[in-house]
Each structure stands twice: as structure tokens, then as C-alpha cells.
Amino acid sequence: MIKDKQYLDDIGEFCLQELKKIGTTAAEVIVAHSISDEILRRNRKIEEVNRSEDIGISLTAYIDKKKSNISISNLNKTKIKQAIERCYEMAKNTPEDVYCGLPDPKVFFKNEKNLDLFDEKIISFEKKKNYLSECEDEALKNQKVNNSNGATFTEIKSNFALKNSSGFSDGYKSSIFSVSCDMVAQNGNSMERDYEYSSKRFFDDLTDAKKIGKLCADRTVKKLNPRKIKSFSGPAIFEPRVSSSFLSHLLSSISGHNLARKVSFIKGEIGEKLFPENINVVDDPLILKGLGSKNFDSEGVTCNKLNIIKEGKLNSIILDSYSARILKTVTNGRCGGATNCYFEKGNINKVDLLKGVNKGVYVTELFGSGFNSITGDFSKGGAGFLIENGEITYPISEITIAGNIKEMFKTMILADDLEFKSRINSPSIRIENISVGGI
């Protein structure tokens, strides 16, 4: 069972009082407990059943403008006191940093709002096993699917308490249920793999097991017998699974920490034009059952909806209290990063997005870390399908997608197929002119 609020609060309060006694000028404590269950089924047999339980304390001590942090997993009070002493001694020997410190109490979350993040139901092992069986069996029905990398079911339930010496004290329970199906297909000498997944706060909201299995098999089989293509420059359409990576690069580039260190290709000036005027990016922490939903960030600061990109222009950046002080502004409750972030969907369907593309690529996979956050240069390996005369034709592999992401942003066209499958979500995206490397 997940530890209750009172248990976590009591430990947190003990730590705060001990930190105060030892001489800290400010302190923060996070006490967290989680239980994780995982089942792996492969080729119609249960191969692994794992359960793990983690409980730990994160201590942050401030001595004026000096700060240190230490984490422990032993909750024995003697061990906790020893850790507090080490944390205090580390802070004394840390260089001063004029920007460190707890947030202003005025910005702490003080309200009550249930975001519906915890599934109280106890899901039996049998129910999870049956779900996996339906998923994998459906995928293996496809005659070209000849092997399984496994279907995995994961359940994580957690609770935490965040307390600091400025008076903040809160926490909440959360749950996440995830399933993934990974298949291998073969046709002659060609062998390919692909996957499908679903992740939700509540078990009953997971995608139907058979649908996941069928989608996984279909995706895998469609990749068989890929061809290599000659290099060219032209349009590229990125399916939602990979188009969300552009949003990840944007978020990294408008992080207050990166802007303060001047390691971003974006200037960070509010009003800076980055996209066509019909493109908006939203970060909304208050979506019910959202995978990234939260009332407050890792510092206890209230989280509100942000319009990050508004009509193509930079409208907000990602700030915690530390980066906000460096940039001489105020935190917007994003310690720990973005929450539920997404491109607002466009007004064109996928079929129309393909129209007008005489020759291009439909990208379903991107590999590697070929993104330079300082220059915006982008170069990644990829795979997908060739587009000819507005239609997806045959699978392709061993291509390279290259360009400058700032220029790519300027020609983006968004489809209307936005789905919320993770914390960062995007519809299909067309970019008009990209260098596609082949043979």
C-alpha cells in the first residue's frame, strides 16, 4: 500500500525541524514513496513479473546564499540526522550563489483542486495478464509477424510530501498505467520491428488491448522490404510520434537556465517570431487526468496554463525561481520543466497534408541526438515512407533528415490529428524544405 499523507508529512516535519535546529537559514524536504509492478509477456508466455518499492527523502539546506542537497533512502531517525548534518556541512563549504533560495511565499499554491490523478482501484494480476494476452495475441495473428519482443504492462502508484521552511506543505497521490507491444515481422530477407503503446492515469482509460496489438502488427508489417533512396531536398511530413520531438527541442531552447547561459539558438525575447502566425503552443498543467498535470511545481509554486507560443510568437519561457532571478523576472511554476505541452491542432487533415507533395518523405522514426541547441542545426537518422504525387508509397530506411530547426519552424504546417498520448504531444507536421540524405 502507498504510504498515506500523514506518514510522509510527519517525516518531512521531523526533517525540517532538525534542519532548523542545526542552523540552516532555510530548508526544503521532499518525502516520496512509490510502488511499481511490471509484467512482461513474450511469445504467449509470462517471462517476468517484477515489483519494486522505493521510499526516500530529498533534503535541501540553505545557509544564506549557500545551498546543498542530499538524498537518502534509510528512514531511520539516526540515519536521517546524520544525513542532515552532512547536508549542513556541505552547504557551509559551498560557494555563495546570489540567485539561490526558496521562492517568495506569495507564489506558493494555496488552493484545493483535484486533478483526478490517482486510480483508487486495485487491478488484479489476472486482469493485467489477460490484458497483455489480448494485446500480444492480436498482434501475433498477423501472419507476417514472426516474433515478439514482448508486451509489457506497468503500473506505478506514488505519493509525496513537499515541505519548506517558508510555510509550504502539500503533496498528492498519482498513478500511471502503461502498456507497450513490440513486434518483429519478416518477409524473405527483410526483418523489421515496431511498437505501439498507451499510457494513462487510470486503468480503464487505456486503449483497448486488441487495438494496440493490431496497430503494432500493422505498423511493423508496413515497414517490411524498405528501399534506399537518393538524396534530395523537399517536403517532409512527420507523424505525431516523432513530430513531438520538435516541441521537446523548443522547450529545451526556451528553458530559463539555457537562456540565462546563452546556450540557445532562440534569443528568448517575448514577441520573438518563431513560427507562422497560425501556430500556438500551450502548456497546461490543469488537464484532468493529464500525464503531466500538477497544481504546483517542484518548489511548491502555483502552476497555471501558459501560452508559450501565441500566433507564432514567443509568449512565455520555462522558468523556475532560480532562472527567474538571473533573468530578473518571476517564476511561472515550471521547476521540473513543462507539464502537458502541445501544439494546438491545425485545420487540415492528414490526407490534405499529403496533397501537393510531388516528392517527399513521411517520417515515422528519428534516431540519434543530432541537435545543436546553440546554432539550431538539426541532423538525425530516420526511416519512414516515400511520398509521391501526394500519396504514401513504399517504405524507406537509412535516410538522414537535416536542416536548421529555426528555418524548419518557419515553414511548419500542422494537421488536425492531435492526440494526448504523453506529456508532450503534437499533430502531424509538414515542413516544406528539408535535406533528405540517402545513397
User: Distance (Å, rounded) from C-alpha 111 to C-alpha 114?
Assistant: 10
pLDDT in tens, 255-269: 999 999 999 999 999
What secondary structure letter does DSSP report for 106? G
Res 229: pLDDT: 97
Residue with cell 544525513: 83
What is the CATH superfamily name and number for domain 5-222?
PmbA/TldD superfamily (3.30.2290.10)
DSSP, collapsed to helix, strand or coil, labels residue 19 as helix
Compute CA 396 distance to the chain's CA centroid, rounded to the nearest angstrom.
28
pLDDT in tens, 367-393: 988 999 999 999 999 999 999 999 999
Q: Which residues contact 89 (CB under 8 A, 6 or more apart)?
A: none
Give the total residue count for the chain: 439
What secondary structure letter does DSSP report for 208? P
Res 254: pLDDT: 97
Res 112: pLDDT: 83
Res 368: pLDDT: 87
Res 111: pLDDT: 85
pLDDT in tens, 118-174: 999 999 999 999 999 999 999 999 999 999 999 999 999 999 999 999 999 999 999
User: Distance (Å, rounded) from C-alpha 431 to C-alpha 414?
Assistant: 9
Identity at 130, one-letter amino acid code = N
pLDDT in tens, 323-375: 999 999 999 999 999 999 999 999 999 999 999 899 999 999 999 889 999 99
The residue ranges of DSSP E strands in 78-172, in sequence order, are: 145-164, 169-170
Listing DSSP states for 316-372 in one string gives: --B--HHHHHHTTS---S-TT--SSEEEPP-SB-HHHHHTT-SEEEEEEEEES--B-
pLDDT in tens, 166-216: 999 999 999 999 999 999 999 999 999 999 999 999 999 999 999 999 999
pLDDT in tens, 72-117: 999 999 999 999 999 999 999 999 999 999 999 999 999 888 999 9
User: Distance (Å, rounded) from C-alpha 8 to C-alpha 13?
Assistant: 9
Q: What is the domain partition of the chain in residue ranges? A: 5-222, 232-245+345-437
Res 361: pLDDT: 98
